[in-house]
Every structure is written in C-alpha cells, then in structure tokens.
Amino acid sequence: MAEATTTKSPTRNRGLEPSKAGDYRRWLRQMMLIRRFEEKAGEAYSLGKIGGFCHLYIGQEAVAVGSLAVLGPDDYITCSYREHGHALVRGVSARTVMAELFGKADGCSGGKGGSMHLFDASLGFLGGHAIVGGHIPLTTGMAFAIKYRNTSQVAVCYFGEAAVNNGAFHEALNMAALWKLPAVYICENNRYGMGTALERASAIYDISERASSYDMANEVVDGQDVLVVHAAMMRAVQRARADKHPTLLEVRTYRFMGHSMSDPIHGHYRTREEVEGQRKRDPIGVWSQRLIGEGMIDDAAVRAMDQEVAAEVEDAYQFADQAPDPAPEALYTDVYAHP
C-alpha cells in the first residue's frame, strides 16, 4: 500500500555537503548552460534561424538540473515541448540540440523533429512531445515495461501544470498507482498555462492534491532551489526503484519569458512587476550565491564558468548555422521500420 504523503519541502538552507562540491559546481554550470543556450536560441529565433515554435526554459533551470542529477543512464525520460534544458542536462550536446532547433541534419532528430521533438534514445531521452499531457501515459507505459522486465529502472515524466486537468494525466497516474509502477511524474508548475493563470484553469490550486485521487505519494517542491529539487527527486526515485511506487512532484517554478517566442513576456496575463519580482529568485543567482557563500566557488570562477558556457553556446550556434539541411530523400525515411 503506497504512502500518501504531501510534504512541503523546507525552503530554508539545507546543509551543503563539502564532498559534493564538484556536483554542486556542475549543477551551476548546467544551469548556466541552459540559460545561455536558451537566450541564444531566442536570438536565433528572432533572426529566423529557428522556425515554428520555440519554448524557452529560462527561469526553470533548477528543476531539470536538480532532478536529472538523480537519474542513472538506464532511466527513461519523457518531456513536454519545453525540453531544451532537459536534453542538455541529460547529455545531448549543445551543438546537436542547436542543430535540431535549426532543423539541420546533424540535429538530434535529424532535423525532422524540431524544438518540440528532441530525441536521443542512447541517453534514454525519449522526446519532446507536443500534445499537452499526451506523453504522460507514455511514461506509465515505460514504467510498465520496467516492471514487466523486473529491472530497477525509473521512468520520469516532465509536464506543466496545465496538463493536470487533462484526461491523459488522470488516466496515466491512475494506472501507475493501480499497478504500482516505478514512475516519477514531475509537474513543473510555472503558474501559467500559456496565458491562463493556474487559478483560472484548475479547481484545486495545489496540484499535488490530485495525487490523493490515486492514493499516490506526492510533494510540493520549491523549484527555484536546485538542492531542494534534488532532495525531493531522490526520495521519489528511491520510492520507485525500491518500492515500485510512483510519485507526483509538484515543483513550483517560474518562467521569465513568454510561453513561447511567439508570446509576450507578460502580455495581459501577468504584470511586469510580478515578472521583475520573480527574477529576484533567479535560480542561477540563488545557487551561485549559495556556493560562493559556502566557499565552494568564487566570483572569478563563476564569471569564467559563464564565459566558458557562452563560448560553448556560441560554438553550438555556429555549428548549427553551418550544418547542412537533411537530404531531400529524408522526407520519406523512417515513416516505417522497413521501407
């Protein structure tokens, strides 16, 4: 019988462990990489090098970094369309991600997926999906396969808070809890589903309470603190591996940019003041200050790290810009397994 616990993780300082300083610094770098990458992607989009939709993760970096740090190489990850950051953290190179955004043959999906459909099966990174909530049952299926094969893998799903009103969310979580599957459902609650505030879309504000419908373990997590995210994810993953029980994590975060590049930063649905206020809890700033405070890094190193990351992103940009388009024949490949 699964424990139904709702825990609000403390946002106060938890002690940092000196032996993990390397990890901590890596997390900082990863968050910076995401930030610089997404800024560059925004720039590329406005220059017409990226077409269609482009959903930026700016402000939410701690969620991907803190949670993915817990997983092993055999675990499965499925995301929504706002997944550039997750791909980068999981290990898809900046070059390959940028090339995919540019639609080039060297992109991680051969230029055929685009921003919303990043895939790298060798890393267990199973997309990039564009139908809101549509991929949540996929994670349940992957967790089913893990149980079927009796391994200790975990299947993780990232989605936004607007997906939790969706039938697919409900069906997927019900089955995961019913059948006791090793899944972690991470709801990145950035408060706004496109232009609709959560209060206007959801009868219940505390998304984690949805889990009680399925008797599923759940937590509300401060998403702007990478360490808090990490700790919550540790618990959830442990529960999945050891007990084969799923968890719903409601990770409260904030996006500083609009829903996508086609949407205004605040528009009519939130105020500039709110956005500015939220920026004060920029996860990167919060974490770098923390590490500096703990003596695990210094300003110069942070700046150097930033420059290094910027160079990596610039390199990725150039790579993507010069990479070739897919061959015309690629139009017809991979529709079926054996043409």
Residues that bind another protein (CB under 8 A): 76, 78, 108-113, 117, 119-122, 126-131, 134-148, 155, 167-168, 170-172, 174-175, 178-179, 333-338
CA atoms of 160 and 194, how far apart (whole Å)? 10
Least distance CB 251 / another protein (angstroms): 22
Least distance CB 88 / another protein (angstroms): 17
Nearer to another protein (CB atom), residue 136 or residue 248: 136
Nearer to another protein (CB atom), residue 59 or residue 128: 128
Please identify which residue in the block is written with the tokens 């709702």.
6
Nearer to another protein (CB atom), residue 127 or residue 283: 127
Nearer to another protein (CB atom), residue 118 or residue 291: 118
Least distance CB 199 / another protein (angstroms): 27
CB within 8 A of 129, min separation 6: which ones?
78, 79, 80, 81, 116, 117, 135, 138
Least distance CB 143 / another protein (angstroms): 8
Least distance CB 89 / another protein (angstroms): 19
- Whether residue 137 contacts residue 167, with contact meaning beta carbons closer than 8 Å, is answered with no
Least distance CB 110 / another protein (angstroms): 3
Which string of DSSP letters, residue by residue, matches 116-133? T---BGGGTEEEE--STT
Nearer to another protein (CB atom), residue 120 or residue 225: 120
Q: How many CA atoms lie within 13 A of 139 on its CB side?
A: 38
Nearer to another protein (CB atom), residue 31 or residue 248: 248
- Whether residue 235 contacts residue 251, with contact meaning beta carbons closer than 8 Å, is answered with no
Least distance CB 113 / another protein (angstroms): 4
- Residue at 59: amino acid letter: G
Nearer to another protein (CB atom), residue 68 or residue 155: 155
Least distance CB 129 / another protein (angstroms): 7
CA atoms of 135 and 141, how far apart (whole Å)? 10
Which string of DSSP letters, residue by residue, matches 184-233? EEEEEE-SEETTEEHHHH-S-S-GGGGGGGGT-EEEEEETT-HHHHHHHH
Hey, what are 58's tokens?
Answer: 């700016």
Nearer to another protein (CB atom), residue 52 or residue 285: 52
From the list 206, 190, 330, the residue with the least C-alpha distance to 255 is: 190
Q: Using DSSP, state whether 242 is helix, strand or coil.
A: helix
Backbone angles phi, psi at 327, to 5 degrees: -65, 150
Least distance CB 179 / another protein (angstroms): 8
CA atoms of 196 and 95, how far apart (whole Å)? 34
Nearer to another protein (CB atom), residue 131 or residue 197: 131
Backbone angles phi, psi at 70, to 5 degrees: -80, -25
